[in-house]
Each structure stands twice: as C-alpha cells, then as structure tokens.
Amino acid sequence: MNKPKIARPEESQPAHALWFDRKKYVTINFIVHRPKEVQVDIQPDKMILCCKNDTDDVIYNELHFYENVQIHDSREKVYDRTINILLRKVKPDYSWPYLQKDLAKPSWISVDFDNWRDWEHEEDEGKEEFDRYMDIMKDISANKGQAPDMGDLDSD
C-alpha cells in the first residue's frame, strides 16, 4: 500500500481550501473545477494534493498539520467542483485553532464558517440545560406534594 511520492511540479498553483474542525475529524475542502489526475498523499503530519483542473492547470497543495492525524482512518473524495479530505485526529476532543503548524496563514486557506461549530462547550451547554430541567422537575414535585406510592399495584 505504498503510494508513490508526489513531487512538486515546476509550474503549479494552489487550490483554495476551506476547512473546519470537529471533535474527531478535521475536514478540508479544496475548490478545484472538474479535477482530474488527482493524487492525495496523507501522512501523519502533513498532506499533499496534486491534480489538474478543467483547463489543465496544475494544482499543488502541501499542508503541515497543526497536530498528527490517523492516516488509515482519513479519506478523500473527489467531486465535480471539490476534493474533500476527512482527517481523523490522533487526539479526539482536542480543538485545532489552526490547520497548520506554521502560524503564517497562506492566502489559499480559509475557515469554513458555514460549517464551523464551537463543539468544545456543547457538553457543558447540554449539562446546563439538563440541570435547568431537573430544577424545574424538582419545583413541580415540590408544589404538588409527594408522588403517590404505587406499591399497591401488582403486575399479577
């Protein structure tokens, strides 16, 4: 299952990439119109994308990830206008504030705010909602008195 090494072409341009973070995965969508000859090499610390678009422009992107990913549980899917990459994090439940280790953000990388969620605090918000629900239930039972003892009901 050794993939051939992808060499950087002499003349190439990067594809625009939109990315977003989830609990277990990071998703990167490369915008390429009618991609062909697509090569993707996902390594634990980086990925390389090389392809051609509908006008035979050579596209090349190389990313060094903020954290390591699981290469055997990461996938790519080619569509008519995008190449979607799903990267499984080695450390789930750990937020990536950046896509790359290098803090200097290339102009071709953007955050996909339409799909971005602040998932770090979702459990806390759910717990707060549950606590409020339990408080309401306690208030209701306190106002109605004791719940009836249904011990005299047998399933005979």
Q: What is the mean pLDDT of the chain?
A: 84
pLDDT of residue 1: 46
Single-letter code of the amino acid located at 24: K
Instruction: Give the domain ranges of the chain.
Output: 17-140
- What six digits make up the tokens of 139? 């208030």
Give 17-140's CATH code, choosing from 2.60.40.790, 2.60.40.10, 3.20.20.70, 3.30.465.10.
Answer: 2.60.40.790
pTM over 0.75, yes/no: no
Please check whether residue 97 is in contact with residue 111, taking contact to mean a CB–CB distance below 8 angstroms: no
Within 10 angstroms of residue 94's Cβ, the number of other Cβ atoms is 13
> What dihedral angle (degrees, nearest 10) is formed by the CA atoms of 149, 153, 154, 155?
-110
Question: In the chain, pLDDT over 90 holds for what percent of residues?
Answer: 54
Beta-bridge partner residues of 83: 30, 78
Average pLDDT for residues 133-140, to the nearest whole number? 68
92-98-100 Cα angle (round to 5): 100
Please check whether residue 68 is in contact with residue 104, taking contact to mean a CB–CB distance below 8 angstroms: no
Highest mean pLDDT among 21-25, 64-68, 137-141: 64-68
Q: Which of 68, 86, 78 is nearest to 39 (CA)?
A: 78
d(CA 19, CA 11): 25
pLDDT of residue 142: 64
pLDDT of residue 37: 94
Please check whether residue 61 is in contact with residue 108, taking contact to mean a CB–CB distance below 8 angstroms: yes
Q: What is the pLDDT of residues 36-75, one digit of tens each?
A: 999 999 999 999 999 999 999 999 999 999 999 999 989 9
Coil vs helix vs strand at 64: strand
